[in-house]
Amino acid sequence: MVENRPWLSFITHLVLIVGVVIVVFPVYLAFVASTHGSGDFLRGLVPLLPGPYLIENYGRMLTEGISTAGAPPLWIMLSNSLIIAIIIAVGKIVISLLSAYAIVFFKFPLRMVAFWIIFITLMLPVEVRIIPTFAVVANLGLLNSYVGLTLPLIASATATFLFRQFFLTIPDELMEAARVDGAGPMKFFRDILLPLSRTNIAALFVILFIYGWVQYLWPLLVTTESRYYTVVMGIKRLAATADTEPLWHLVMASVILAMLPPVLVVIFMQRLFVKGLVETEK
Amino acid sequence: MATINLVDLKKSYGNVPAVKGVNLSVADGELIVLVGPSGCGKSTLLRMVAGLESVTSGHIEIAGRDVVKAEPAERDIAMVFQNYALYPHMTVRGNLEYGLKNRGTPRTEIDRRVNEAADILEIGQLLDRKPRQLSGGQRQRVAMGRAIVREPAAFLFDEPLSNLDAKLRVQMRVEIRKLQRRLKTTSLYVTHDQLEAMTLADRLVVMNGGLVEQIGTPTEVYDHPATLFVAGFIGSPPMNLIPTSALGTDGANGLPAGTDIVGVRPDALLIQRPEGPCIALEATADLLEPIGGESHLHVKLEGSGQAIILSVPGRPDIAESAHLTIYARPSELHPFSSQTGRRTDTVAKS
**Cα–Cα separations (whole angstroms), residue A10 to A19, A212, B78:** 14, 40, 62
Mutate to test the interface with B, among A180, A192, A278, A279 (most CBs of B within 10 A): A180
B216 CB-near residues (< 8 Å, 6+ apart): B203, B204, B224, B226, B348, B349, B350
| Interface pTM, i.e. ipTM | 0.83
Nearest CB partner across the interface for B89, out of A171, A195, A281: A195
How far is Cα B129 from Cα A195, in angstroms, rounded to an integer? 17
Query: Is B190:B49 a contact under the CB 8 Å cutoff?
Result: no
B287–A contact, CB cutoff 8 A = no
Whether residue A250 is contained in a domain is answered as yes
Whether residue A251 is contained in a domain is answered as yes
Nearest CB partner across the interface for B73, out of A181, A195, A280: A181
How far is Cα A60 from Cα B203, in angstroms, rounded to an integer? 86
The answer to whether the CB atoms of A182 and B73 lie below 8 A apart is yes
Whether residue A240 is contained in a domain is answered as yes
What was the pLDDT predicted at A96?
92
Task: Give the number of other CB atoms < 10 A from CB of residue A184.
Answer: 13
Q: Pairing state of beta strands B154-158 and B77-80? A: parallel
What was the pLDDT predicted at A124?
81
B52–A contact, CB cutoff 8 A = yes
Q: Please, where in chain B does CATH 3.40.50.300 lie? A: 4-228
Nearest to A195 by CA among A254, A90, A280, A129: A280
Whether residue A8 is contained in a domain is answered as no
Nearest to A79 by CA among A258, A265, A266, A267: A258
Query: Is A181:A262 a contact under the CB 8 Å cutoff?
Result: no
How far is Cα B255 from Cα B250, in angstroms, rounded to an integer? 11
Residues from A in contact with B at Cβ < 8 Å? 171, 173-174, 176-183, 187, 191-192, 195-196, 280-282
The answer to whether the CB atoms of B99 and A281 lie below 8 A apart is no
**Cα–Cα separations (whole angstroms), residue B210 to B9, B146, B160, B198:** 10, 30, 21, 20
Whether residue A7 is contained in a domain is answered as no
The answer to whether the CB atoms of B102 and A187 lie below 8 A apart is yes
**Cα–Cα separations (whole angstroms), residue B345 to B23, B255, B268, B331, B336:** 24, 8, 18, 12, 8
Residue A156 Cα, gap to closest chain B Cα (Å): 27
Q: What are phi and psi of B4, to 5 degrees?
A: -125, 130
What was the pLDDT predicted at A281?
47
Residues in chain A where the model's pLDDT stays below 70? 1-2, 67-70, 242, 273, 275-282
* CB pairs < 8 Å spanning A and B: 61
- What is the CATH code of the structural domain delimited by B239-336? 2.40.50.140
Dump strand ranges (E) for A6-62.
Answer: none
Task: Give the number of other CB atoms < 10 A from CB of residue B50.
Answer: 23
Query: Is B156:B79 a contact under the CB 8 Å cutoff?
Result: yes
Which structural domain, as residue segments, surrounds residue A169?
34-279
- For the beta sheet containing B154-158, the strands, ordered from the edge strand earlier in sequence to the opposite edge, are B77-80, B154-158, B186-191, B31-35, B203-208, B211-216
Q: What is the number of structural domains in chain A?
A: 1
Residue B167 Cα, gap to closest chain A Cα (Å): 24
- For the beta sheet containing B261-264, the strands, ordered from the edge strand earlier in sequence to the opposite edge, are B240-243, B261-264, B334-336
Q: Pairing state of beta strands B323-328 and B240-243? A: unpaired
Burial class of A240 by CB neighbour count within 10 A (0 to 12, 13 to 18, 19+): exposed
How far is Cα A246 from Cα A255, in angstroms, rounded to an integer? 13
B331 CB-near residues (< 8 Å, 6+ apart): none
B82–A contact, CB cutoff 8 A = yes
Task: Give the number of other CB atoms < 10 A from CB of residue A220.
Answer: 15
B73–A contact, CB cutoff 8 A = yes
How far is Cα B182 from Cα B180, in angstroms, rounded to an integer? 5
The answer to whether the CB atoms of B83 and A191 lie below 8 A apart is no
Q: Please, where in chain B does CATH 2.40.50.140 lie? A: 239-336
The answer to whether the CB atoms of B98 and A180 lie below 8 A apart is no
For each successive 10 residues of chain B (350 residues), what is the average pLDDT?
89 91 93 92 93 92 91 91 91 94 92 92 91 90 92 92 89 90 93 90 93 93 92 90 80 76 90 85 90 90 88 86 88 88 68
How far is Cα B342 from Cα B350, in angstroms, rounded to an integer? 13
Q: Pairing state of beta strands B240-243 and B261-264? A: antiparallel
The answer to whether the CB atoms of B77 and A183 lie below 8 A apart is no
Nearest CB partner across the interface for A176, out of B52, B99, B102: B52
Whether residue A270 is contained in a domain is answered as yes
Query: Is A73:A64 a contact under the CB 8 Å cutoff?
Result: yes
CATH of the domain at A148: 1.10.3720.10
B54–A contact, CB cutoff 8 A = no
Whether residue A82 is contained in a domain is answered as yes
Which value, to the nearest 10 degrees, does the dihedral of the CA atoms of residues A32, A38, A41, A46 take?
Answer: -50
Architecture of the structural domain at B4-228: 3-Layer(aba) Sandwich (3.40)
Q: Least CA distance to B96: which residue of chain A?
A: A181
**Which amino acid is it at A43?**
R
How far is Cα A93 from Cα A201, in angstroms, rounded to an integer? 7
Whether residue A241 is contained in a domain is answered as yes
